[in-house]
């Protein structure tokens, strides 16, 4: 027999005490969604089932106790830390879910500058951590645009990636070890060593699980020397995305590792670069590291770009200032809500990846189809921001005016159809439908097409680690109807 809301709350209070169990209606409403449904926040209309409670755990043991209680009583748990999720990962789609918030577990446990790693609890804010490290001359080198919002647990859980990824990699390249709690209350620890060949790398069961397999309570990530004085910024305007992708490819294939390598189309670039690149594409690099290496890399990247006559170099101060203003802090989030309410114009993003031979086709097909097929579009464009030896990503940005709709129709009339075009075009071309935000709950529809025959592995993981189906149901894997 499943428990009633009241019994669930009672059980949770028994474990945590009443202070850590919140049932205030407005809190529950705001906790029923994430930024995928930000229009619900704007309108104050909430459509998802309200969770039974939001609970704050303050230790691994408390997490374990809550998970065990949920597992025994089949209560859906939605793990949460920084609340910056964009793909529905925090939506409470199952009746009487419990949001398990780890943001109070915010202690930095150990800074080890000899072995170059830092260990912290899941609720440590990345910005707080990185500012602390920078004061000592180190950095995590992880710099997602949500750095002022996101916390370590969520960053690992979503397989996040930062703006400096082309040199330092995504979070999966940074995590050394972790402590994790599984639904049955089992607390596991993967030790911190430089490498191992002791069977499959089980870190990857945890990294990117989006709260659908286990709860991450502690992470150890690499640290790097922080030497901003060596940073060199390069910026160019150019006519076509095609040329831009070619240059990105050449830089990667020739073996250079800028930390930032980004290519904006004119539509997406307009917001940032209109003062010097109206109507043009913009190509940006930042190189860093030891001074000598940075200087040589910058010079060689310049040489590669210069072979393309359509590229015009711009003052690097333009690029530096842009870069320093790229992150989203809570103030910006609050302003955005106000702006949407006033203008009834709203924007979202969908990020995908593809090999070099298909990325331009994906870019072109998605832009064309969205512009033609979706009503009331005010902007459709994008940028590539993370390049690899084999290919790169496309981060699509799209905005539309909300015309004659109820709050609920924002998603069905606009957001879903756009997502569908981008995901389908990407999968058709052989790319991956999610580059870094996570699958969340709204791209699960295509998960089998994404995985094809390897879906067997994913499904088996879910069955093995979450047999009762209590971990963030509907995330990554769709709920069977």
Partner 1 sequence: MKILVCFKTVPDLEMLSEEDWAVDSNLAVDVSFVKNILNCFDESALEMTLKLSEYSESFNESLTLTALTIGDKKAEMFLKTLYALKFQKAVRIENNEDVRFFPEVIAAVIAQYVEKINNQDVVVLGRQSGEGDNAKTPLLVAEMLGWPCITQVINIEPSQEERLRVTSMVEGGTLIQVIDTPCVLSVGNAPVSYLRVPTLKDKMSYGKRAIEVLNINVFNIASLLNKCYHEYQLIGLEKISNHRAGILIEGATTAEKAKKLYDHYLKERLEKQ
Partner 2 sequence: MKFTVILNGCSDNFILQAEEINGFLSSNALNLSRGHTIIFYCEENSKIELMANAPTASVELIKVKRYQPENILEILKQRTINQQMDLYLFASDFTGSELSVRFAYRIAGSSLVAVNKLEIEKDGLIAYKAVYSNHMQGVFKLSKKPYCISIAKGCTDLEAVLEKNHEAITEDMMDVVKDDFIKEYDFVEEERVSGLAHAKFMLVAGNGVKQKEKVKRLEEIAKSLGAVLGVSRPVATNAWAPLNQLVGVSGVMAKPELCIAVAVSGAAAFFAGIEKSQYIIAINTDKGAPIVRCADVVIIDDYESILEELLKIK
Residues that bind partner 2 (CB under 8 A): 19, 22-24, 26-27, 30, 56, 132, 148, 329-331, 334-335
- Among left, alpha and beta (phi > 0; psi -120 to 50; other), residue 159 is left
Task: Please give the distance of CA 426 from its chain centroid, rounded to a whole number.
Answer: 18
Pick the closer one to ligand FAD by CB: 78 or 311.
78
In the list partner 1, partner 2, ligand FAD, none, the entry touching 434 (Cβ below 5 to 8 angstroms by class) is none
Which of 4, 274, 303, 412 lies at the binding interface for partner 1 (CB under 8 A)?
274
Q: Beta-carbon neighbour count of residue 21 at 10 Å?
A: 22
389 φ/ψ angles, rounded to the nearest 5 degrees: -60, -35
**Using CA atoms, how far apart are residues 224 and 139, in angstroms rounded to an integer?**
5
Please report how close the Cβ of residue 68 comes to partner 1 at its closest, in angstroms: 42
Tokens 């009339």 belong to residue: 413
In the list partner 1, partner 2, ligand FAD, none, the entry touching 22 (Cβ below 5 to 8 angstroms by class) is partner 2
Which of 23, 48, 60, 160 lies at the binding interface for ligand FAD (CB under 6 A)?
160
The interface with partner 1 within residues 330-349 (CB under 8 A) comprises: 338-339, 342-345
Which ranges of 161-290 does DSSP label H, i.e. alpha helix? Answer: 165-168, 203-206, 241-253, 266-277
The interface with partner 1 within residues 360-379 (CB under 8 A) comprises: 371, 376-379
Please report how close the Cβ of residue 243 comes to ligand FAD at its closest, in angstroms: 25
Q: Check binding of 135 to partner 1 (CB under 8 A).
A: no
Please report how close the Cβ of residue 275 comes to partner 1 at its closest, in angstroms: 5
CB environment 95-113: b (16+ within 10 A), e (fewer): ebbbbbbbbbbbeeeebee
Of 108, 31, 3, 16, the residue nearest 63 (C-alpha): 16
Q: Check binding of 405 to partner 1 (CB under 8 A).
A: no
Angle between helices 356-373 and 416-429 (to 10 degrees): 150
Q: Check binding of 273 to partner 1 (CB under 8 A).
A: yes
**Using CA atoms, how far apart are residues 301 and 316, in angstroms rounded to an integer?**
14
Q: Check binding of 419 to ligand FAD (CB under 6 A).
A: no
Pick the closer one to ligand FAD by CB: 104 or 308.
104
In the list ligand FAD, partner 1, partner 2, none, the entry touching 302 (Cβ below 5 to 8 angstroms by class) is none
The interface with ligand FAD within residues 258-317 (CB under 6 A) comprises: none
Which of 279, 290, 330, 375 lies at the binding interface for ligand FAD (CB under 6 A)?
330
Of 105, 91, 80, the residue nearest 158 (C-alpha): 80
Which of 399, 414, 446, 465 lies at the binding interface for partner 1 (CB under 8 A)?
399
**Using CA atoms, how far apart are residues 120 and 222, in angstroms rounded to an integer?**
12
**Using CA atoms, how far apart are residues 464 and 458, in angstroms rounded to an integer?**
10
Q: Check binding of 145 to ligand FAD (CB under 6 A).
A: yes
In the list partner 1, partner 2, ligand FAD, none, the entry touching 479 (Cβ below 5 to 8 angstroms by class) is none
Pick the closer one to partner 1 by CB: 271 or 456.
271
Q: Beta-carbon neighbour count of residue 317 at 10 Å?
A: 10
SS3 content of the chain, % helix, strand, coil (to 5): 40, 20, 35
459, 111 in Cβ contact below 8 A? no
Pick the closer one to ligand FAD by CB: 314 or 433.
433
In the list ligand FAD, partner 1, partner 2, none, the entry touching 59 (Cβ below 5 to 8 angstroms by class) is none
Which are the contacts of 25, defined by CB distance < 8 A and separation ≥ 6?
50
Please report how close the Cβ of residue 320 comes to partner 1 at its closest, in angstroms: 8
Q: Which parts of this chain interact with ligand FAD (CB under 6 A)?
A: 34-35, 78-86, 89-90, 102, 122, 144-146, 149-151, 153-155, 157-158, 160-161, 210-211, 215-216, 328, 330, 333-334, 436-438, 472, 475
């Amino acid at each position: 027999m499943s428990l009633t809301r009241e019994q669930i709350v009672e059980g949770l209070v028994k474990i945590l005490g009443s202070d850590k169990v919140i049932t205030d209606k407005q809190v529950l409403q705001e906790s029923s969604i994430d930024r995928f449904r930000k229009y619900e926040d704007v309108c104050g209309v909430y459509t998802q089932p309200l969770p039974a409670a939001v609970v704050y755990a303050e230790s691994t043991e408390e997490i374990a106790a809550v998970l065990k209680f949920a597992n025994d009583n089949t209560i859906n748990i939605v793990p949460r830390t920084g609340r910056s999720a964009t793909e529905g990962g925090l939506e409470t789609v199952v009746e009487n879910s419990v949001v398990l918030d780890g943001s109070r577990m915010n202690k930095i446990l150990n800074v080890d500058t000899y072995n170059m790693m830092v260990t912290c609890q899941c609720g440590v804010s990345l910005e707080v951590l990185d500012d602390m490290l920078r004061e000592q001359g180190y950095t995590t080198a992880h710099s997602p645009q949500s750095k002022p919002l996101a916390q370590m647990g969520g960053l690992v859980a979503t397989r996040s990636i930062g703006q400096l990824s082309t040199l330092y990699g995504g979070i999966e390249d940074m995590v050394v070890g972790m402590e994790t709690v599984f639904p049955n209350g089992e607390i596991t620890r993967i030790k911190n060593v430089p490498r191992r060949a002791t069977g499959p790398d089980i870190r990857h069961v945890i990294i990117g699980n989006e709260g659908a397999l286990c709860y991450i309570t502690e992470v150890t990530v690499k640290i790097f020397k922080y030497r901003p004085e060596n940073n060199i910024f390069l910026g160019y305007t150019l006519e076509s995305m095609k040329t831009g992708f070619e240059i990105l490819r050449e830089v990667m294939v020739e073996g250079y590792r800028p930390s930032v390598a980004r290519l904006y189309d004119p539509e997406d670039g307009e917001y940032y670069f209109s003062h010097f690149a109206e109507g043009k594409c913009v190509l940006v690099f930042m190189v860093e590291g030891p001074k000598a290496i940075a200087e040589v890399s910058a010079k060689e990247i310049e040489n590669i770009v210069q072979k393309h006559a359509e590229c015009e170099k711009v003052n690097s101060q333009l690029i530096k200032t842009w870069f320093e203003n790229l992150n989203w802090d809570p103030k910006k989030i609050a302003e955005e809500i106000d702006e949407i309410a006033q203008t009834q114009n709203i924007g979202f993003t969908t990020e995908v990846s593809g090999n070099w031979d298909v990325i331009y086709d994906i870019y072109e097909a998605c832009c064309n189809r969205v512009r033609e097929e979706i009503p009331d579009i005010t902007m459709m464009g994008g940028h590539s921001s993370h390049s690899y030896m084999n290919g790169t990503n496309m981060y699509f940005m799209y905005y539309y005016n909300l015309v004659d709709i109820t709050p609920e129709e924002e998603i069905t009339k606009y957001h879903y159809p756009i997502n569908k075009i981008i995901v389908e075009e990407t999968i058709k071309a052989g790319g991956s439908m999610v580059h870094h935000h996570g699958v969340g709950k709204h791209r699960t529809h295509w998960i089998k097409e994404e995985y094809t025959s390897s879906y067997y592995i994913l499904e088996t993981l879910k069955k093995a680690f979450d047999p009762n189906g209590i971990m963030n149901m509907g995330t990554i894997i769709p709920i069977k109807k």
